[in-house]
Structure 1
Amino acid sequence: MKALSNRTANFTDSVIRRMTRISNEYGAINLSQGFPDFAPPKAITDRLAEVAAEGPHQYAITWGAQNFREALAKKQEHFSGIKADPNSEIVVTCGSTEAMMAAMMSVTNPGDKVIVFSPFYENYGADTILSGAEPIYVPLKPPAFEFDGEVLEAAFKEGAKALVLCNPSNPSGKVFTREELKIIADLAIKYDAYVITDEVYEHIVYEPYKHTYLAALPGMRERTIECSSLSKTYSITGWRLGYVIASPEIIDRVKKVHDFLTVGAAAPLMEAVVVGLRFGDDYYQELKNHYTHMRSVFLSGLKNIGLKLTEPQGAYYVLVDISEFGYSSDLKFCEDLARKVGVGAVPGSSFFQEDINHLIRFHFAKTDEVLLKALDNLSEIRRKMK
């Protein structure tokens, strides 16, 4: 038989999802795959129960139900200051994963180059390759995860057509400053490039840091493709409701790509979550307080154990240095951690283009009970892992 696709020949399975399977195999506390273990807001689940009886149960408009898009446009304008036309500047997708893929396929051609900051969420490199484009990796240097403006400009000079920006960042928890975003914006304008943003953690930012929407900077509204989802904001990762916000010209193309990728997002779920999109500011403050508490519980515990870490500014992940344990493979370390210690983590090498084997990623979107149990297990890490 003829060979399969060269484009996907070097793909592996998702290391993040693999670590969930390994955690399940050993009965480990899963701090690898980033989904909460607490319920969504009751107002949303109550509305879902009503929708289960009354519908809708058939296809919505391909690019998203009208009331969903209108509610989303108002919410995003409130937080970003950017007014988006719900009919011509928004597409609802099956999660931010599809949003990123649709955006990438809408702006790149085979052979184009796309800048990706490293470390990066594992899908970004795959999205670029599946689109036939070539990734150019620009390092974010630990522990502050800052980039070198000259190195970034050199990447643009290679002819990059787009840049992928995750802010707040997974896995590092970095929140890009307005000054850093201005550098990115100025280079994108100078070299006539698009910026595809992944902003799923926009509401999970810790004091004193602030989230700045790149599209709100001068000259960036027309060349920014904002991708996000409701998964993290409303604790509904399994609902797979994402979206793309961009200029009408870009959205017209995204609509067509989206139509042929997935046809449309789930109509009952869009209807149920509209109530959440209409929440007031108090909900988002409570969300921030909740995650600030979980970060404090987990990071304080890690520090008490004596583990070295990089304190996240946003999102709900923390990178931990495992150099002291002497493993040459962070994947083997994570497998042993699940088996011997009973805690699941993700090897840092799955996020870095550079040869980095001394970091692992935990997530802390868990109840206090689960986090404290994980910390209790981790208190035995030196005895069980050396």
Structure 2
Amino acid sequence: MQIESKLPDVGVTIFTKMSKMANEYGAINLAQGFPDFPVSPKLIDRVHHYMQQGMNQYAPMPGVPILREAIATKTEHCYGWKPNIDSEITVTCGAIEAINSAVTALIHTGDEVIIMDPAYDAYEPIINLQGAKAIGVPLRQPDYSIDWSAVSEQITEKTRMIMINSPHNPSGATISAHDLEALERITSGTGIMVLSDEVYEHIVFDGEAHQSVLRSEALRARSIVTSSFGKTFHATGWRMGYLIAPSTLMTEIRKVHQYNTFTIHTATQYSIADYLKKPDHYESVAPMYQKKRDFFLKVMDSSRFKPVPSQGTYFQLMDYSAISDKGDVAFSEWMTKEVGVATIPMSVFYQDKQDNKVLRFCFAKNEETLEAAAEKLCEL
């Protein structure tokens, strides 16, 4: 049977590939972004509690009301604005389902979507599946900041959406209040929507506040914001996320969501609603990860890797140009096989696959894991 692929240039993701190699060669996996320390026992106990209470059948399609209320309260606490729980919040199967459902619902054949380059590798395939085109705007080097003049130059009559991601995966860069002002300015008076991927919103370092588009009345009127409980509560396998959007956009997004995943694990929704009642449960996450970032940088200090500042997420970029002139894909594969540490090559996140001799390391690990990896890396 001859099949015409909708994604002819897409294979197995780099995360799957590098994790598989890490398993095959017994390497320490600093590639895929998952923590190797446990989820809070309190949160697990709440899931168990609600399963025993019989919360094991379908939840309402948008999410259980008590969780949507908790999300609205958290949003108001963090950003000074409370979304409507009935029409502006939907619980999703992770943030990636939220992004997929939003793009599928709102982007049409022939549309253009501006993304920042490098970008999380799922964005472009999701856009391509709609018959639309992803227009990559290069982030400035070396700080991975957004060049808003370059963004403005790429806006055409076909531009339907601008996608931003802060804190940024893969670089760890964050946007500022000035960035929000620039985004508001260039979208004012247009029909351009904003999709803001904010899954690492609670992992921002050095005392800085996360700059959500929800802080701006003008931006939230045209924006879809995606968030992740899996990232915040280091439970990535639970696939728990949500999105916030104006009711006019949410109506269309829910049309896709209801035929995509329909609803999300019921007992987990109730448990997270309970867990969100204490802001410390999400406000303590950034200091915990900053401690891990700083520890990783300390144990890597004697290496020949050059760190690129990480302002958020649980990723640290490292320049290896002083060590090897191999391409980043080849070097990351060699490190996995010969050194015993798996990482992610940065070139896979670029549309043109540019290679700047930079690797992405995940430091969402126990100190013992990070120290063991650093011992190997410092020998290079």
Shorter-chain-normalised TM-score: which range?
Answer: over 0.9
Could you give the per-residue CA deviations for residues 291-341 of structure 1, whole angstroms, max 9, x where no partner exists?
111010111222321311211001111111122343443111111111111
Residue 379 (structure 1) shift: 1.5
Counterpart-to-counterpart distance in 2, 1:285 and 1:102? 28
RMSD between aligned residues: 1.4
Query: Which SS does the other structure have where 1:157 is aligned?
Result: coil
Residue 208 (structure 1) shift: 4.0
Corresponding residue for residue 350 of structure 1: 348
AA partner of residue 292 (structure 1)? Q
Corresponding residue for residue 185 of structure 1: 184
Q: Which residue of the other structure, out of 305, 308, 311, is the alignment partner of 1:307? A: 305
Counterpart-to-counterpart distance in 1, 2:157 and 2:145? 21
Counterpart-to-counterpart distance in 1, 2:234 and 2:118? 24
Corresponding residue for residue 175 of structure 1: 174
Q: Which residue of the other structure, out of 289, 292, 298, is the alignment partner of 1:291? A: 289
Structure 1 regions of 5+ residues with no counterpart? none
Deviates further, 320-329 or 346-355: 320-329
Counterpart-to-counterpart distance in 1, 2:89 and 2:201? 18
Counterpart-to-counterpart distance in 2, 1:105 and 1:331? 31
Corresponding residue for residue 252 of structure 2: 253
C-alpha contact (below 8 Å) 2:119/2:349 kept by paired residues = yes
AA partner of residue 318 (structure 2)? V
Query: Which SS does the other structure have where 1:219 is aligned?
Result: helix
C-alpha contact (below 8 Å) 1:43/1:275 kept by paired residues = no
Q: Which residue of the other structure, out of 332, 354, 360, is the alignment partner of 1:334? A: 332
Residue 172 (structure 1) shift: 0.6
Deviates further, 209-218 or 59-68: 209-218
Identity %: 34
AA partner of residue 134 (structure 2)? P
C-alpha contact (below 8 Å) 2:305/2:323 kept by paired residues = no
**5 Å matches for 1:228-267?**
228-267=227-266
Residue 162 (structure 1) shift: 0.2
C-alpha contact (below 8 Å) 1:156/1:187 kept by paired residues = no
Could you give the per-residue CA deviations for residues 207-243 of structure 1, whole angstroms, max 9, x where no partner exists?
1432111132241121010111101111111111111
Query: Which SS does the other structure have where 1:314 is aligned?
Result: coil
Moved over 4 A (4+): none
Counterpart-to-counterpart distance in 2, 1:17 and 1:179? 36
TM-score of the pair, normalised by structure 2 = 0.96
C-alpha contact (below 8 Å) 2:200/2:231 kept by paired residues = yes
Corresponding residue for residue 126 of structure 1: 125
Residue 13 (structure 1) shift: 1.2
- Cα–Cα, structure 1 residues 154 and 297, in superposed 2: closer, same or farther, change >3 Å? same
Counterpart-to-counterpart distance in 1, 2:148 and 2:178? 11
Counterpart-to-counterpart distance in 1, 2:214 and 2:45? 34
Counterpart-to-counterpart distance in 2, 1:264 and 1:283? 25
AA partner of residue 349 (structure 2)? F
Could you give the per-residue CA deviations for residues 45-102 of structure 1, whole angstroms, max 9, x where no partner exists?
1111212322211111111111111111111111111211111111111000100001
Corresponding residue for residue 76 of structure 1: 75
Corresponding residue for residue 210 of structure 2: 211
Counterpart-to-counterpart distance in 2, 1:90 and 1:213? 16
